[in-house]
A and B are shown apart, each in its own frame.
Chain A
């Protein structure tokens, strides 16, 4: 007997037309695109789009890794905007977080304080329960987008402890005995900076995607979205070219500048009115506002020597 005969695959309630991520910033009617205060829309490459749609179809979390500044966190807002599932339920992982913190947190300190001053609210435990991102998603019962940011910062057991809740889409608050279950699986986006190897069982339950650093043409496209309108395209081209030279392998920078730093640098260039032609011809050591890109003394020395 094969596995398929023994355990037929369950039907997945999936409306592909409703939940179809395009990665181009298109939003449903009567809704606004939200990029968390940033300008422009999030432009995803086709591999990332496919990975997101795969995660939505199979109902598994999407694990996104990549260099900092490549837009891992923004991906969740892009998904929520395009699918009309705003706002994103965010959970920013800290090193002292446990898996339960993704579901709910009980403010025992406040309750203790209320009990000390004989406040009657202390008798009601539900007053002190705050539901975190995943817990809120399960409670709401509808389709939501959950962002668990930088999971590699948490303890080693954190990812494995999350598996059951994500698989079952249910949890219980032991102190009150309340149980919550959701029929609709949320779209869980988990980001990692690859600072630590994640456990294999967790990886096997995730849809994996590594966001590669954008190519120059993609960078130009992204900058066109993120910068204020009217920026000279020649300046953008020159900045991207110099940016590429800085990131070149031969320079062996310890901390390569990322997209976010490029945007900041370009804004400074625009503000200072730098001539695109001069910028394109400048040696690396002569780049203006290098501090926006290079954050390390050794790297700065490398840049200086490279030009000398």
Chain B
């Protein structure tokens, strides 16, 4: 036990085994236990933590872990016991493993075979045929290069005929065989079921027939009230007892005689029984079927006679009193014979009207009856209204079964001279239709409505119904044999009516019926007892449906009965119940129980057949269906689903050599590419075979005539299986106009077309005369439909003719491209991309371009605008204006660039599109579309730049004019000095900003002669003007030296080295100092060094000495940017120091 598990696990032998119990779990899967990956994982987790080595706990653990219900628990434990028996099982494992492997191999082979068949069945997609060589884009440098053949889109390549399909016979046969087997099994199953059903029916019928004991039971009815009231019988007996017969008895009383003999010392004494006090009655009772409803009443009457010691003898007849009998097993005797023996008795005939007809028709019987002195007739029908007329003609007085009637009979039979009173008293009322209906309702409740039970129900629950209602039921045929029978539909109607009208009454009656049934239980084990059980169960079910008790016991009993011989009766009884609730369940159970075999089968009854082969008819049907299915399968799979034999697409290589020059034909070359490609093949153009040839492994060449060009060419050869060996479909473009024109010319001139260059002149180079030119013109007109005048042909080159024809053939359209940005025409670069890839571009405003008609994508590039694409259509026109409109954005950006050193932003004035002027702030501007002007005006130059503002784009305005002027500041030293300049110049002004006596000359670059006049003295100098440069010249008229004056000012140093111009009244210095020293230049003098005490500069200020004549004047300094600044005021003349 301890090592059983470890020894038994087959896969435990491998230390690398990752799935312990793998085979065991696989076996469990085969037994229906759902073992998946999660279960493997759970088992592994269990084993990893499992510390025990005992077998039983592991068995329980695996069962608990893998099972989902108790059935699977048992399955797993059983499998565990098989796989891991308690004893060592190495031998078993070794013997089992090859079997498992063999099964696995078989499964693999079967799976592979099925997969292979399936793979062959699937119509895998075949290789698509290749298209012709793609069209090359037209180089854009020569838009009129030959693209005519490519202008039209290529048609689709010709389609190959569908590949043939193999005639597949295996699958239809397999399917038909499978279907045949299935149908045969179905037929066998159906026949087996029928046989089993027949066997079951036969067995149950036999059981029903061979059952012991009674087959039917009679309800035992206990009467609540006596059928014949005792008072009635007392009266009858009293009247009958008044008879005159007082004679001693004739019957010996044996016991009394013996007793008297013994008492008297054995002296014989005879004692006779005393005679009855009343008359002897001979009862002739009719046992005709019409009397059956009344039998109980008659029996009760006869029993009453016996109780009252009325001596009587009971004889019977069946409808005709001519023959009577006393016991059923005795021979009937004629009535006359009975009269011979019983003629002294009083005769009482008990019958309804049926016997009266027989008596009326039989005179013998009438005579015999008349011979009875005391005779009477009792009709059980109490109401004479329902008697037949023939009763009136009888030789016997007829009395109804009423108290008065019985009294009359008694008087008739009492051997008394008194005549009975004819009056029979009050009779019951007549029967109405309502009485019949009510009686039927009562009958409907009774499982087996005998006359007695129905009459008892009438007495108990509907005593107001006259008993003559029976006559109506008999008349309707409701009374058959011993009991009433109503049609099923009427029965259901009656029950439903009763249930709706008086459910409590129904319940009450059914409870009474259950009491009756309880008293009527027949012999157990008999068929009658089964029927009794059925009736009891039905009544209980009816009672239970009222909610008083549970329905389950009754349903159980009925279900059990439904599996037995009475299944049809049970089903019939259940079917009459109103549906719904438990009845629906009951009906289903009863139906199922009836379909099952009996729970217990007698040992001598044999067994039901387990299997029956399909009969001849079944086999014929199976064969017919199989044949029909096989034909359908063969048609379906053979024609539509058979394996496709694909074409061999790359069997040949078909190459097209394009014509090299005008007039050449295209050449097709065929070369077998695959080994086994047929030598004999056909060359197809589109869907038509145009040539057959043989390659024999060599290259086959074919010149394609011009009239054959313009189509797909393909090599095709039929292979033995019906499929094709083909090449790629190659498109041979149609001959171009150039080829055709050159071919015409070569043909007319009878020269080789290859010798005709496009640049050739017909007359000069090809020596065409008027006749040949005329012939060429005619042929051109014939082929192209275009008329070219001879005068034109004489003066143009071959290529001009070609171009003319191409233009007339609308191969090209002269397109004028115009681009509008908003409402303004603009310059743009437009690239037209044809849908087939040709690219043409135009870069100017309103440029013409020749392009093929078709669909294009226009890519529009406008400076400063994003690239825009538009789809355009160029129709096949001679000329076409292509207008491309682009909506501009709302504003555009203006960037002004002034790369001039001496120009500040404030020197720039901008004139907006609205006409308003503003100064530039040095930043880019956002302006409405329109024209903007930038105006720059300085000493050196003035310039105006105009730009166009385009919405959404940036306009860059560059102000960089060539320098136009230079500036010369002429220092005269005295405001009263006059300056004249020889030659042309821009301006000469006395500039108050720089000081009085200083003149500003603005002039073009050059050398100028300047004359300064002061106080009658003149000084003439030559100055050089350099554009863009301001120079200062001291041209003061020499005079006597002036006393010096002291100029004091402060200099706030902000830069380390700045150039300054310092001008005082009549004094000008051009200085350049670096913060420590300054060089002063005095008019008319040489340079004076600042270090000489004239000017001192230190870190905090600058001290300058100037002539005193300028005291009170202001000094200005113009800084590097050209602006003048107040510098200082001359405080005191030089004389001050």
| A residues adjacent to B (C-beta < 8 A) | 2-5, 7, 9-12, 14, 16, 46-47, 50-51, 53-55, 57-60, 62, 65, 200, 203-205, 207-210, 254, 297-298, 301
Contacts and interface: CB of A to CB of B under 8 A. Distances in A.
Contacts of B70: 65, 210
B475 interface: no
A58 B65 contact: yes
Contact of B61 (A4, A5, A50): A50
Nearest to A209: B64
A203 B38 CA distance: 12
Contacts of B44: 4, 9
Interface string B51-72: 1000011001100110111101
A12 B48 contact: yes
B252 interface: no
A12 B42 CA distance: 11
B367 interface: no
Interface in B3-42: 18-19, 34, 36-42
A152 to B, nearest CB: 13
Nearest to A62: B64
Contacts of A53: 57, 61
B643 interface: no
Given A9-B44, A46-B60, A54 B65 contact: yes
B694 interface: no
Contacts of A47: 60
6 residue pairs, one from A and one from B, having the closest CB atoms: A4-B18, A50-B60, A203-B68, A51-B64, A54-B61, A14-B49
A192 to B, nearest CB: 11
Contacts of B51: 16
B19 A3 contact: yes
B50 A57 contact: yes
B547 to A, nearest CB: 14
A29 to B, nearest CB: 22
Nearest to B51: A16
Contact of A298 (B60, B61, B550): B550
A205 B37 CA distance: 12
B72 to A, nearest CB: 8
A46 B56 contact: yes
A14 B46 CA distance: 10
A91 to B, nearest CB: 22
Nearest to A9: B44
Given A53-B57, A58-B46, A298-B552, A9 B19 contact: no
B107 to A, nearest CB: 19
A187 to B, nearest CB: 14
Interface string B70-92: 10110000000000000000000
13 contacts: A3-B40, A12-B45, A12-B48, A46-B56, A50-B60, A51-B64, A54-B61, A54-B64, A57-B49, A200-B34, A208-B64, A210-B73, A298-B553
Interface string B82-126: 000000000000000000000000000000000000000000000
Given A9-B44, A12-B45, A200 B68 contact: yes
Contacts of A203: 68-69
B60 A204 contact: no
A297 to B, nearest CB: 7
A130 to B, nearest CB: 33
A11 B45 CA distance: 8
Nearest to A13: B49
A3 to B, nearest CB: 6
A208 B46 contact: no
Nearest to B42: A58
Nearest to B72: A208
A57 B68 CA distance: 18
Contacts of A50: 56-57, 60-61, 64
A60 B56 CA distance: 20
Contacts of B68: 200, 203-204, 208
Interface in B157-195: none
Nearest to B69: A208
Contacts of B36: 204
Contacts of A57: 45-46, 49-50, 61
A208 B42 contact: no
A297 B37 CA distance: 51
B49 A2 contact: no
Contacts of A54: 46, 60-61, 64-65
Nearest to A207: B64
A5 B550 CA distance: 62
A58 B46 CA distance: 5
Contacts of A4: 18-19, 40, 44
Contacts of B41: 3, 7, 9
A137 B431 CA distance: 85
Contact of B67 (A7, A10, A60, A208): A208
Contacts of B65: 54, 58, 60, 207
Contacts of A51: 60-61, 64
B39 A204 contact: yes
Given A204-B34, A298-B552, A298-B553, A9 B48 contact: yes
A208 B45 CA distance: 17
B45 A9 contact: yes
A45 to B, nearest CB: 10
B45 to A, nearest CB: 5
Nearest to B43: A58
Contacts of B64: 50-51, 54-55, 62, 207-209
A76 B37 CA distance: 29
A72 B45 CA distance: 26
Contacts of A2: 18-19
A297 B551 CA distance: 12
A290 to B, nearest CB: 19
A9 B552 CA distance: 54
Given A54-B65, A301-B553, 5 more contacts: A12-B49, A14-B49, A54-B61, A65-B70, A297-B550
B879 to A, nearest CB: 74
Nearest to A200: B68
Contacts of A204: 34, 36, 38-39, 68
A5 B50 CA distance: 21
Contacts of B50: 57
A131 B703 CA distance: 95
Q: Which one of B39, B49, B61 has the greatest number of beta carbons of chain A within 10 Å?
A: B49
Given A3-B37, A210-B73, A60 B60 contact: no
Interface in B624-660: none
Nearest to A302: B553
A200 B73 CA distance: 15
Contacts of A65: 70
A2 B50 CA distance: 23
Contacts of B38: 204-205
A5 B38 CA distance: 15
Contacts of A207: 64-65
A50 B45 CA distance: 15
Contacts of A209: 64, 73
Contacts of A14: 49
Nearest to B71: A210
A85 B40 CA distance: 30
Contacts of A5: 18
Contact of B49 (A7, A16, A298): A16
Given A2-B18, A54-B65, A55-B64, A208 B57 contact: no
A12 to B, nearest CB: 5
Nearest to B60: A50
A46 B57 CA distance: 8
Contacts of B34: 200, 204
Contacts of B56: 46, 50
Nearest to A3: B37
Contacts of A301: 553
Nearest to A5: B18
Nearest to A57: B49
A5 B40 CA distance: 13
A125 B550 CA distance: 52
A46 B54 CA distance: 13
